[in-house]
């Protein structure tokens, strides 16, 4: 019962306004079931096909979040059930999500990913780009998506000062985007993972994505 214990430990120390996404990528359905039986209903995956397979096997009251980088041609596979897409980083991708959501008669909630890390490999928009996207005429006509916040990934480092700086930057961008449109209203700030979520919460995170601290280490690198 270590998964249940880990979940309980993390949840009992979270402020009320912070939502925990249990990141189950690469982990078997038996692990997700243990978390489910411990009462958890919100899981994050970073590969669409893997999430689809798990969605089919697991009870239908689970909320599935797509937290990984997305290929546009795969959006259709998750459009009928995904409850939040975290890493939207272009108008073209939003357009595809809008199209697939419309086909399924849904409005899909999305977060825009902001690049805060110093590493070249991390995806995301700059503050200038996100501001322009939200103000664009092309964006405003999308009726089947809703932007409910921002997401970011800090640099993979143990340097607390750098983490503080990067999460602080994301919080500032979040606070500066006060504009609301019919299809956007920014309330959710998704930042913080197993190793850095306490510092993310100190900087205003409202949603943390935690994998290895719940399910144990994954076989490969952090992006697997
Ligand atoms: C894997 C992953 C996480 C969770 O990472 P842990 O270090 O295992 O908590 C969070 N966010 C994203 C985008 C991920 O890909």
Q: How far is the CA of 135 from the centre of ligand 1 (A)?
A: 30
Which atom of ligand 1 is found nearest the CA of 46?
15
Ligand 1 centroid from CA 23, angstroms = 6
Q: Is 190 helix (H, G, I), strand (E, B) or coil?
A: strand
Q: How far is the CA of 157 from the centre of ligand 1 (A)?
A: 14
> What are the tens digits of pLDDT across the range 95-127?
999 999 999 999 999 999 999 998 877 789 999
Question: Residues 14, 195, 164, CA angle at the centre, nearest 5°?
Answer: 85
Domains of the chain: 3-214 (3.20.20.10)
Over the stretch 25-82, which tens digit does the pLDDT of each residue have?
Answer: 999 999 999 999 999 999 999 999 999 999 999 999 999 999 999 999 999 999 999 9
Give the number of residues written for the chain: 224
Model confidence over 127-140: pLDDT tens digits? 999 999 999 999 99
Q: Do residues 15 and 204 lie in contact, with contact meaning Cβ atoms separated by under 8 Å?
A: no
Q: How far apart are the C-alpha atoms of 31 and 153, rounded to whole Å? A: 25
Distance CA 144, CA 142 (A): 6
Question: What pTM was estimated for this model as a whole?
Answer: 0.95
Reported as a single tens digit per residue, the pLDDT across 49-60 is 999 999 999 999
């Amino acid at each position: 019962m270590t998964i249940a214990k880990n979940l309980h430990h993390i949840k009992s120390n979270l402020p009320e306004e912070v939502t925990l996404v249990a990141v189950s990528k690469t982990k078997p359905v038996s692990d997700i079931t243990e978390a489910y039986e411990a009462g958890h209903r919100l899981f994050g995956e970073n590969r669409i096909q893997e999430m689809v397979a798990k969605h089919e096997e697991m009870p239908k009251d689970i909320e599935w979040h797509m937290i990984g980088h997305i290929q546009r041609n795969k959006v259709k596979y998750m459009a009928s059930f995904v409850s939040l897409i975290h890493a939207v980083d272009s108008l073209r991708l939003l357009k595809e999500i809008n199209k697939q959501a419309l086909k399924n008669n849904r409005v899909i909630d999305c977060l825009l990913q902001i690049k805060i890390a110093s590493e070249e490999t991390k995806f995301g928009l700059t503050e200038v780009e996100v501001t322009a996207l939200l103000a664009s005429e092309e964006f405003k006509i999308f009726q089947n998506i809703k932007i409910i916040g921002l997401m970011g990934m800090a640099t993979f480092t143990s340097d607390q000062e750098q983490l503080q700086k990067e999460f602080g930057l994301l919080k500032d961008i979040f606070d500066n985007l006060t504009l609301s449109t019919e299809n956007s209203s920014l309330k959710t700030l998704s930042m913080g993972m197993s190793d850095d979520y306490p510092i993310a919460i100190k900087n205003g995170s409202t949603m943390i994505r935690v994998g290895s601290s719940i399910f144990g280490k994954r076989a490969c690198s952090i992006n697997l």
